[in-house]
Structure 1
Amino acid sequence: MANIKLALVDDHNLFRRGIASILGQVADFELVLEASNGQEFIEKIPRKMPDVVLLDLQMPVLDGTATADYLREHYPLIKIIVLTMHDEDRMVLHLLEKGVSGYLLKDSDPDEVEKAVRKVMDEGVYLNEFVSRAMLRKMTNKTTVVKQSTLYNSKILLSEREKEVLKLICEGLSTAEISDRIFLSPRTVEGHRLRILEKTGTKNTAGMVAYAFKNDLV
């Protein structure tokens, strides 16, 4: 099995070295690129293309949010996992809608970092308990939800089967697990997922899930 190629972008050298040491202990992980800011990372990509980037948000020169925007436009196949100290719900949902595949806090357990990398490679998204709670708190803000759902739900018409698939995706189920749950082929489930992406105008599964919670679609 081919190694998973990783990039690490963080302006704190000590933290970056610590994470690099942890990643280096995983047999099939290969750290191919390190950078101290987004601009440095972007300049290095053509020489060492990663599968997944662990990306800090607050950095000089080019911060994580701007870097994520650039990657989604120019390198959409690179999976982005934010690794940050920022725990604001607004920031979590904003970045997931931008197409980030996962959101981890810097005090996460090393095992969770490995789990997140594998999950985004296999399924395109990693939704941990922290992210799920942020989404649920957003749903409890009734004023925001009502305003936004009135705006968006009038434009987005999902079939009952699409709603069912979307609900299971939001619960963190994989394509294979959804296939088993609702007795559809994995190919049919994937077809529903692609149509939901198109209808919601989102870039990937993480963005679709964030959009669904934000706009009360599930």
Structure 2
Amino acid sequence: MSGTSHIRVAIADDHALFRRGLANILKTYDSIEVIMEAQDGQDLLTQLAFQVPDVVLLDLQMPVLDGIKTTEQLRNRFPEVKIIIISMHDDDGFVTNLMELGANGYLIKDSDPDEVVKAIRTVMEENYYYGAFLTKVMHRRMVERSRPRKPSFSSQTPLSEREHEVLQLICSGLTNAEIAEKLYISDRTVEGHRTRIMEKIGAKNTAAMVVYAVKNGLY
């Protein structure tokens, strides 16, 4: 990854075989450094008092402190840490709720190791990672909420028309620079819109913004 020597990764999973196996696999990849293994959320938070990783790979079903509660605490105490959920759960509502809590990505446990590494690198560069699974979830949510015509801007939303336009472009995967070029505004203006959108809808990150847009028929 350009500009970064190593991405420091922590793995929290109560299944020792899976946790250690994943750690050993990740250690074979350039620029990935596994600095921490935890058997549950509380163990992870305890270890974070001594060192803080860039990315946490977090299981959901763990004793003592599960993935959901751990995600909430990580967002409050370590907002800069990227969180990628790794689980067997594939319920649409469950996944989108986790993204709203502030998770930066979601992978199912049988994902290919290359996809796990891609997710790690992508959340560091772009702050979120959809992946094939999460893209399918989003698509199903949009289909369920489909109307005879695509919903247009409504005065009931807290967003202005320009903010709504910026949000749609963010959902399409455009960078700030690409949005600025498309709308003929500056990068700084785009960043200002992005910040205000997050404040208005209570989103913790880009992934949560996309979830909001999908759930409210704005994308």
Task: Please say whether Structure 1 and Structure 2 have the same fold, judged by a TM-score greater than 0.5.
Answer: yes
Instruction: Report the secondary structure of 1:70's partner residue.
Output: helix
Instruction: Report the secondary structure of 2:130's partner residue.
Output: coil
Tell whether the 8 Å contact from 2:9 to 2:33 is kept in structure 1 after alignment.
yes
Within-5 A mapping of 1:36-47: 36-47=39-50
- Inter-partner Cα distance in structure 1 for 2:114 and 2:175: 20
Match of 1:156 in 2: 157
Instruction: Report the secondary structure of 2:33's partner residue.
Output: strand
Within-5 A mapping of 1:164-175: 164-175=165-176
Count of matched residue positions in the alignment of Structure 1 and Structure 2:
211
Tell whether the 8 Å contact from 1:5 to 1:51 is kept in structure 2 after alignment.
yes
* 1:133 and 2:159 are equivalent in the alignment: no
- Inter-partner Cα distance in structure 2 for 1:18 and 1:155: 49
Letter of the structure 1 residue corresponding to residue 96 of structure 2: L
Match of 1:176 in 2: 177
Task: Tell me the CA shift for residue 154 of structure 1.
Answer: 6.0
TM-score, normalised to structure 2, is 0.89
Match of 2:95 in 1: 92
Q: 1:12-37 CA distances to partner (integer Å, 9 max, x unpaired)?
A: 11111121112111221111111010
Match of 2:78 in 1: 75
* 1:213 and 2:214 are equivalent in the alignment: yes
Task: Tell me the CA shift for residue 172 of structure 1.
Answer: 2.2
Q: Which runs of 5+ in 1 are unaligned?
A: none
Instruction: Report the secondary structure of 1:117's partner residue.
Output: helix
- Inter-partner Cα distance in structure 1 for 2:30 and 2:109: 22
Tell whether the 8 Å contact from 1:127 to 1:172 is kept in structure 2 after alignment.
no
Instruction: Report the secondary structure of 1:34's partner residue.
Output: strand
**Sequence identity of aligned pairs in percent?**
53
When residues 184 and 22 of structure 1 are mapped into structure 2, their CA distance, relative to the original with a 3 A threshold, is farther
RMSD: 2.0
Match of 1:51 in 2: 54
- Inter-partner Cα distance in structure 1 for 2:76 and 2:214: 24
TM-score, normalised to structure 1, is 0.89
- Inter-partner Cα distance in structure 2 for 1:36 and 1:154: 48
Tell whether the 8 Å contact from 2:145 to 2:217 is kept in structure 1 after alignment.
no
When residues 191 and 59 of structure 1 are mapped into structure 2, their CA distance, relative to the original with a 3 A threshold, is same
Match of 1:15 in 2: 18
More helix by share: 1
When residues 129 and 178 of structure 1 are mapped into structure 2, their CA distance, relative to the original with a 3 A threshold, is farther
- Inter-partner Cα distance in structure 1 for 2:191 and 2:206: 11
Within-5 A mapping of 1:98-109: 98-109=101-112
Q: Which runs of 5+ in 2 are unaligned?
A: none
